[in-house]
Amino acid sequence: MSSDVRCQAATYSPSLVERFYRGIVLPGFDSVVKGRKTFQFADELNQSQWWPVEKIEELQSRRLSSLIEFCWQHSCHYRDAWTQAGLKASDIDSAGDLSKLPLTTRETMRDHASRIRTWLHGQASVVKSTGGSSGSPLRFTIDTEANDRRVAAALRGYAMAGGGPGTKQVHLWGGAIGDQGPLRAAKEYVYSRWLNRRVMLDSFGLCDSNAERFVRQINRHRPDVLVAYTNPIDTLSRIVLERDLSVHQPRAIITGAEKLHVHQRQRIEEAFGAPVFETYGSREFTLIGAECSEHAGLHLTSENLIVEVVDEDGRPTPEGEEGDIAVTDLWNRSTPFVRYLIGDRAVAGLERCPCGRGLPLLRKVVGRQLDMLPTLDGRRLPGEFFPHLIKDFVSIRQFQVVQRTIDEVVLKVIVDQRWSSEQADRLHALVSEGVGRTTRLRIEEVAAIPVTKQGKHRVVVSHVVERSIPQVSRAEVA
């Protein structure tokens, strides 16, 4: 794809309808009906992204000092952990001091949740959960204002790709699992379609035999921007090319939830004739990084987060080398995440982008790929299906899906005392919906789940996929 085409998404002129939604409908609904500050924060972020890097670093250091002081005062866990390490809050004055503090694992967040959680009178928060791409579910809270800030950062990140608020979008995304009930489904429909100009297509249901229906829906809605899970949009692109299907050309394609490999980007761009923009995020932090039209790396959400790449002792990894990603959330006070190991790995070294934004670029995220499960009925079920579903089963401490043959899937679960046979039956029914009812599915309660040679836990292990993934993909996953 030529660089001219790749830059188009950033230089388009918004239509009148788009401006009406962006300027009046969406901010009005957000502030007046919902009482949120999302659009105010988005406007601030749209300004600060162009600040010089030094000014952004100064902002980070100020917000970090305030967070650390708050944790010292109100979070028993952090105060104890830092005291044990011989530190006090005043030792952390800037982002550069952060590496003095111990790392926080997902297990710590889970096992010490009540001592990490802060309880201030009048602190409004929302509860979130993640199935965990590392296979260990987690429940946590976010202050409502911190939540508005992270939604604002997601709006800013999508806007870098030309997919800001008010643009007409089709989302090929994880659909609702189980019976939602007609009222909730109707509410979702109105919220997505009428308010946000968004058409939702269920990526879990995509297969070779119904792919043309997905193409017809995209052609009918003619979105400005396609937002998609990486593997389903790649599958759809393969089919478009193989069958020489005529497909609507959006302005941009935004991928997320799964790692985007180079060969996938090329195939998607060839099939849709539009530039692909990779995003990186998680349930804990929403959008962590997003590509601009230079496609030079992922611009970090530096006003809200500090992202480090570290070795196993928590020291910064030398530039160019791979390490674990640790994230500190500068806003969430109700469940503070400080140097939290998210379970992904990246190549260290922050770079400047030719676009002129002061937000540094994360070079490359690695080790986030969840295997796909080929199913008997011809689909390729994204591994994301499982964390998406299991996040609602609070009694499951850890899980792993193993597909030995195409018609046999074993779901291993480590459960606590809240687990029951009713839950097992419900889980069985829901997973069967995804993997296909003719597949033999067994749920095994186990005491431990083995890790890989690198000490990593794999959520989805498909021996069927492993034989068919192209060499380039395996090299990047390793």
Residues that bind Zn ion (CB under 5 A): 292, 294, 353, 355, 357
DSSP line for 248-316: ---SEEEEESSPPPHHHHHHHHHHHSS-EEEEEEETTTEEEEE--TT-SSEEE-TTTEEEEEE-TTSPB
Q: How far is the CB of 298 from Zn ion (least distance, A)?
A: 9
Nearer to Zn ion, 199 or 353 (CB): 353
CB 128 within 8 A of CB 152: no
Nearer to Zn ion, 81 or 160 (CB): 160
For residue 317, what is the DSSP state?
A: P
State the first-to-last Cα distance of the chain, in angstroms, to the nearest integer: 28
Nearer to Zn ion, 157 or 387 (CB): 157
Amino acid in position 85: A
Q: Give the strand pairing for 322-329 and 305-310.
A: antiparallel
DSSP line for 152-170: HHHHHHHHHTT--TT--EE
Nearer to Zn ion, 357 or 368 (CB): 357
CB 300 within 8 A of CB 286: no
Q: How far is the CB of 109 from Zn ion (least distance, A)?
A: 32
CB 273 within 8 A of CB 306: no
Nearer to Zn ion, 355 or 435 (CB): 355
Nearer to Zn ion, 228 or 362 (CB): 362
CB 218 within 8 A of CB 248: yes
Q: How far is the CB of 49 from Zn ion (least distance, A)?
A: 9
Nearer to Zn ion, 291 or 344 (CB): 291
Q: How many helices (H) and strands (E) does the chain have?
A: 17, 19
Scored b (16 or more CB within 10 A) or e, 345-378 reads bbbbbbeebebebbbbbbbbbbbbbbbbbbbeee
CB 233 within 8 A of CB 241: no
Q: How far is the CB of 160 from Zn ion (least distance, A)?
A: 7
Nearer to Zn ion, 143 or 294 (CB): 294
Q: How far is the CB of 294 from Zn ion (least distance, A)?
A: 5
Q: How far is the CB of 299 from Zn ion (least distance, A)?
A: 6
Nearer to Zn ion, 69 or 351 (CB): 351
Nearer to Zn ion, 68 or 287 (CB): 287
* Alpha-carbon distances of 443 from 179, 342, 408, 433, rounded to whole Å: 21, 27, 11, 14
Q: How far is the CB of 363 from Zn ion (least distance, A)?
A: 13
Q: How far is the CB of 295 from Zn ion (least distance, A)?
A: 9
Q: CA 409, CA 156: separation in Å to the nearest integer?
A: 40
Scored b (16 or more CB within 10 A) or e, 436-457 reads beebebebeeeeebeeeeeeeb
DSSP E strands: which ranges in 406-457?
408-415, 440-445
Q: How far is the CB of 352 from Zn ion (least distance, A)?
A: 9
Q: How far is the CB of 274 from Zn ion (least distance, A)?
A: 18
